[in-house]
Amino acid sequence: MSSKLIDAKNLKKSFGEFIAVDNIDLSVLRGEVVGFLGPNGAGKSTTMKMLTGFLEPDSGDILINNIDLKSNPLKAKGFIGYLPEGAPSYSDMNVLEFLSFVGKMRGLNKNLLTKRLDEMAIQISLKDVWNKPIETLSKGFKRRVGIAQALIHDPDILILDEPTDGLDPNQKHEMRNLIKNISNNKAIVISTHILEEVEAVCSRAMIIADGKLLANETPANLEKQFGNKDVITIKVFNKINTVLAKNLKSSLNYSDVKIEKLDKDTNRIFVSDAKKTPDLNNVLKQVNKFKLNIVEASFVKSSLEEIFRKITTTNASS
Amino acid sequence: MKTYLEKTYIIFDRELRGYFRTPLASIFLLVFLALSSGMTFFLGRFFERDQADLTAFFAWHPWLFLILMPAIGMRLWAEERRSGTIELLITLPVTNMQLVIGKFLASWIFTLIALILTMPIWVTVNFLGDPDNNVILISYIGSWLMAGAFLALTSCLSALTKNQVIAFIISSISGFVLIMAGFNLVLSSVRSWTPTWVTETVGSMSFLSHFSRIQMGVFDLRTLVFFVSMIILCIWINVQLVQIKKAD
C-alpha cells in the first residue's frame, strides 16, 4: 500500500487526431499541493477530467486512494472533491439548496450535512449569500460556491481546475489562503496559468505542454535547475562612461550586469545572476559608492515566469 | 440498493423542484390547462356532441403532447451540457443510469401533476351526465403512459445537443413521426421499398393507434408493453448518449 492518494500512470487521451494527453504519470501524496501549469490547451483540464472520472483515459491506470477508478468508479469518486473549469453550478438554486444537494449526493446524513453546511458558511465566507440564488451572485462568490461544493464532504483529494480564474486580486489572494489552510491533510491538485500562484501555494509544480509532462519539481528546484532570473533595475541620472561602467561592473559582484543608455543623462543598470538572487540593499550600497543619482530602483522576481516560458517554448516545439 | 434508490430520488427531487423554481412550471400548467380545455370545448365540440364522455378531451392529447412534452423535457440534458454542470453530476458517486432515471421521473411526475389538474373536466362531465368512469380512468393512465414515452424520447434526444431549442425541434419532429407512423402517408412511403414486416413494425409503433385503442376503454397488454418498452428503450439510449456526448 502506498501513501499516494492519487497515483496515475501512462495516461493517454486523444480526441480524434488530436493528442490531448500523452503518457503522463502523476502521483500526489497527502499534504501535497501540486500546481498544474501549462499554456492554454496544454492538456491540464483533460488530465483533471480523467482523474475525477469524468473522462475515461484511452490507456493508463488511475488509483484513487489505492482504488482503481476504472473498476470501482463510485467508491473512488467518493474520495474526490472537484471544481470543474468555470465553476459550473445550478444557477436557479440558492447556495444552501445547491450545497445541500451536493452533500446529499455525496452521501452525508442529515446531522453531518448540517454540520458541514455550517462549516462551509464560515470557512468559505458564504453566510451573506446563503439564501440567494446562485445566478445573482458575483463571479467571486460563484467561485466560492464551487469550492464549497467540492469541499462539502471533506474529501481526501481536491482537484481544482483554475480556482482563481476571473477573480480580482483580492479574491485571488483569499482563494490562495483558503487552499493553503485546507492543504494539511489533503492531496490537492490545482491547475493554473498564473505562475505566482504556484509559488504562493504549491509544494510541487508540474509543467505540461502539448500533452506532455515537461517538469515535475518544487518551485525552488525549478529555479535551481533552470537558473535564477531575478533582476534588479536601477535608473540613474548620470552620464556613464566606459571607465565608470567597468568599475561599476567589477564592484557589483554579480555575473550579469548590463548598462543601457536611455538618453544623454540617464542610464539604466540591470543586475542579475543565474546562480543567486541579487541583494537589493547590497546593490544600492555599491552604486552609491560612485555618488550616482539614483532616481528609480526596482526588484523584479520573475523566475518561474521565465522558466515556464523557457520550458514550454523550447521543449514543446522540439 | 437503498442508496441506489436514494441517490436517484435526490436527482429526481432536485429536478422536479427545478420546474417550480422558475415560472416555467406555472406557465406550462396554465398553457396545458387552457389548451386541453379549449380544444375540448371548441375544437372537440364537447357540448354539441351531447355525450357524457371525455373523448373530446383525450383525443387532442397526442397533439398537445407533441408540443408540450418536448417543452418539458428539452432542458433535461441540453442544459446540463450547456452550463457545464454535467461535469459535476458525472463526477458525483452515481451511475449515469441513476441520473437519467431520476431526471426522467421528475418530468414524468410533473406531467402527472398537470393531468391531475384537469380533474375539473372530469367533475363537469360527471355533473352533467353519467359517464363510464372506468374508460376515463384508463384514458388518463394511457395518456400518462404516452406522455412518458414522449418525455423519454425528448430526454434522450436532449442529450444530443447543448441547445434547448434544437432539442425541442428534433423531439417534436421525432414525436410527429411516431404519431403518424400508423397513417398511410408514412406507411406507403415505407411499404414500397421494405419487406412487409418492417411496414407492420412501423405501423405498430404508432402512438396514435395505441392511444385510440386506450381511449375506447380497451386496455390491452400490447399497448402497455408498447409504451413501457418505448420508455425503457429511450432511457437505455439516453444513458449511452450521455456517456458518448458528455465531454463534447
Q: Do A88 and B247 touch (CB under 8 A)?
A: no
The ipTM assigned to this model is 0.89
> Domain ranges in chain A?
4-226, 231-301
Residue that has been written with the C-alpha cell 526588484 in this structure: A299
More confident residue, A94 or A198: A94
CA distance A97 to A105: 12
Q: At what angle do helices B133-158 and B75-83 cross, to 10 degrees?
A: 30
Say which range, A125-129, B36-40, B43-47, B83-87, has the weakest mean pLDDT: B43-47
Which of A90, A93, A105 has the CB atom closest to B94's CB atom? Answer: A105
CATH topology of domain A231-301: Alpha-Beta Plaits (3.30.70)
pLDDT in tens, A67-103: 999 999 999 999 999 999 999 999 999 999 999 999 9
pLDDT in tens, B152-211: 999 999 999 999 999 999 999 999 988 887 777 777 777 777 787 777 777 777 888 788
More confident residue, B139 or B183: B139
pLDDT in tens, A6-43: 999 999 999 988 999 999 999 999 999 999 988 888 88
Q: Which residues of B touch A84 (CB under 8 A)?
A: 84, 87-88, 91
Question: Domain A4-226 - what CATH class?
Answer: alpha beta
Stretch B22-33: mean pLDDT, rounded?
A: 89
Q: Do B91 and A84 touch (CB under 8 A)?
A: yes
More confident residue, A300 or A207: A207
Contact B214, B192 (CB under 8 A): no
The C-alpha of A78 sits at a distance from chain B's nearest C-alpha, in angstroms, of 6
Q: Scanning every residue of chain B, which has its alpha carbon at the shortest distance from the alpha carbon of A89?
A: B85
The C-alpha of A149 sits at a distance from chain B's nearest C-alpha, in angstroms, of 9
